Every structure is written in structure tokens, then in C-alpha cells.
Structure 1
């Protein structure tokens, strides 16, 4: 379970998070949706124990992130918006490094690596330097490394970025399986059709504040719209702007 209460994050004079509050239950996929610069990635980094909050609370499986970020890192799997990997290593070397840091028994690590490598189809890249690989392949390596230690909580920031349709479907099925196993998952994406099908509840964050929260159906009813995309555009005041841009493009072309 994840409990966020009055979470604040300041970077100098910039207030990135303005006291947001939400909960992710065990066995739930929570979609954190918002435009660029809204505070999604900042929230994800706090939940993963990467950066400290400036105020409020973030509790992950009973652990206060402010007090024990290292313990949070032990139980959480985190995928950042842009893969952060050791580019001078091969995928095999990187997975072995992760296994060592996570203290995963050697046989268990090998079995998990083989399973995930086959699932995401990166067998032929195992001997290549990570820095030479495509963004999509590096994203798969980032995903695998986040799941190797069998995390109780998953914090996924735009984890579908760069994935081919097959890999995206595999990740989707994995997340649904993890949900059935009772894990808590926070998931951000700009692919709103995906969020509509996979998320149990959604929080819309805008300018560092949660401006709406509920199931997809509840948000549709609240905004009087028929799709999550239209709900999102309406709540973030982008609907009229998008319509104006489209009209201007049509006139120019």
C-alpha cells in the first residue's frame, strides 16, 4: 500500500508539488496522469526513495520514505521516464550487478533473467554494450532490472515509452498479474487509452496539484465526457487550445 498525504516538493523557489494526497491500495493499479511539468516524475522519484520530499508524508508498505529511503528502495521497483543504465556494461553484466546489489541468490537471478529476457525478446543483445542499443531495448533492460528482485511495489514513470506493441502487451499482462498478486502499482503514461483499460483508479495532476481522482467511469461522469482523453484535456484546460491548434493546422494545410 502507498499512502501520500500533503506531499510537497520544492526546488529553490519552484514548488513542484503543492500538498498532494492519494492512496494506492494493495492489488491496485493507480494511474497518475498529467501534462509535462505537472509533477508526475517528481512524485515518482519521491515514492521510489530517489529524492526526499520537502513536506508531507509518503508511506510505502508502512515505510516512511523520508525516514528510511534505503528500505523503500529494497521493496520497490522503479522505472524512470528515461532509462538510467551503465552504458559501458552489457545487459548480462548489468543484470548481474543488479542481482549483487539486491542480494538475489545466483540461481534465482539466472532463472529470472532468462525468463524476462525471453519475454521481452532481447536475447541477441545480451553481449552488446548497453550504450550501443536502441532506446526501446534500453527501456526493456530498465524494466527487467526493476522487476528482478520481485518487488512488492512498482513505480513506473512512462514505462511504455519506446516499447514495440508486443513488449507493451507483455508489460500490460505482467502488471495485471502483479495486481492479482496484491502488489501496489503507480503507473504514469501519456497513452490515455492504455490508462483507461489498465488502471483501477486515476489521479489527474496539474501544476503540482491533484485536481481530480476516481475510477475512469467516475471521472467521465464528473467531466461529462465519453473518453479519458477528453476528460484529461478538459480538466487540464487543454481542450479548447487543442481544438484551436487543429483548426489553424487545417487552415494552413
Structure 2
């Protein structure tokens, strides 16, 4: 479970990037985090993962405060950032072994997981190449493989499907479903509303740092009198002044 309590973040005195955000993301659910560009999604995720400090409020991951107990919290979650351009000078296998070392993944388990994940995502044959030679999609796949290597209970994914080919996208979505079915938490941001309709148990919509909606898709449809599409509801919410 992820609990975001009265969280505020400002980068200037004139505007708050995230304004008094309250959200509870339950275990056993796939939770979609939606909003236009610049809405505060990535800022929220960077506070959730300890990359950005929180100005006001608190965030806990399975009971661990990310500010007060950062090491304990970070052992629990896996994070896919919005850009996969990381550790470019390492070979793919070096990066995955580095992640395995950080999270103390035993050698035999590590080898099996690396083979499974990289074959699933179609990058097994590129593991001895440096990441800087990878395409954007391949870089996304190696980062996702690293995140899943240590089997974290909480997945925090910032636009995880960007750059993935249809087969890999399908595989990751199936993994997300399986993870939630085990009683664990999947939190992901996306611009692809079709994916939200396919996957999400609950959604939250944020715009200009303010939470506009939190609930199930059925609750969102109930809120609107028309039988509009998710796209129509999203546009109506985010265009509202």
C-alpha cells in the first residue's frame, strides 16, 4: 500500500507543482495515475521514490516513510523512471548484475530471472552490448527487467509502456495483472487511456498539481450523466476551470 498524505511540492513561490495531494493506493490493485503534461505526475512519483524532497506532508510505502526510513522503503519498491537513459556505459548484463548486487539477489535466482525477463522482452541476445548502443525501446526493456529482477512488492512505473513493441507491452501488462493478483501494488502513470481501461482497478486524475478524481472507472462514469468514453471524461475533467 502507498499512502500520500497532504503532500505539497513547489519549485517557485508563485505556483505549486503538487498541491495538498491525498491518495491511498491499495495492495492487490492496478492503479492508474493520469493527467496532462505538466500536471504533477512525475513530480509526485519522484517524491514517492525519494528522488525529490517533500515540502509538506508524508508518503509511506508499505508502512515505511520515504523521508524517515528511505532505505527500508526503497527495498520494497521497484521504479521505472520516465526516461530509460541510465547507466549507458554498462553492458546490459553488467547493469542487471549491478541491480542484483544492490538487492542481494542470489546468483542462481538472478541468472534464472535475467534469462526469463530478457527473453520475454526480446533483449537476451543484446546483453553483452553496452546500453548506449540500445534503441529507446531496448533501454526501456533493460530498465524494466532490472526493476522486476528483485521481485519488489510495490511497482512504481512512470510511463512504463513507452517505446515497447506490442509483444513486450502485452507481456508487461500481463505481469502487472499477475503482480496485483498476488496481492501486491502496481502504480503507474500513462497517457494511453486505452491501457487504463484495459488494466486499472482504480484511477486518479491530477491537473495543475491538484487531484480532480480518485475512484474506479465505474464511479467515474456514474459521476458523468452521459455514457462518454474515458477520453471524453478525462478531457472534461482536465479542461474544467
TM-score, normalised by the number of residues in structure 2: 0.95
Q: Deviations over 1:39-95 (max 9, x none)?
A: 100111111222221111111100011211222111100001111421111100110
Does the 8 Å contact 1:76/1:154 carry over to 2?
Answer: yes
Question: Which runs of 5 or more residues in structure 2 are unaligned?
Answer: none
Does residue 9 (structure 1) correspond to residue 9 (structure 2)? The answer is yes
Following superposition, which runs of at least 4 residues in structure 1 exceed 3 angstroms of deviation?
Answer: none
TM-score, normalised by the number of residues in structure 1: 0.91
Name the SS of the counterpart of 2:150 in structure 1.
coil
- Comparing 171-180 and 81-90, the one that deviates more: 81-90
Does residue 110 (structure 1) correspond to residue 111 (structure 2)? The answer is yes
Taking the aligned partners of 1:47 and 1:186, their CA distance within structure 2 comes to 11
Does the 8 Å contact 1:4/1:23 carry over to 2?
Answer: yes
1:72-91 correspondence to structure 2 within 5 Å: 72-91=73-92
- Residue equivalent to 2:32: 31
Q: Count the aligned residue pairs.
A: 238
Superposition deviation, residue 198 in structure 1: 0.4
- Residue equivalent to 2:238: 236
Taking the aligned partners of 2:85 and 2:222, their CA distance within structure 1 comes to 39
Backbone CA RMSD of aligned residues: 1.2
- Residue equivalent to 1:203: 204
Superposition deviation, residue 232 in structure 1: 0.7
Does the 8 Å contact 1:225/1:231 carry over to 2?
Answer: no
Superposition deviation, residue 122 in structure 1: 0.6
- Comparing 11-20 and 161-170, the one that deviates more: 11-20
Name the SS of the counterpart of 1:236 in structure 2.
helix
Q: Kindly name which structure, 1 or 2, has the bigger radius of gyration based on alpha carbons.
A: 1
Question: Which runs of 5 or more residues in structure 1 are unaligned?
Answer: 239-253
Superposition deviation, residue 221 in structure 1: 2.3
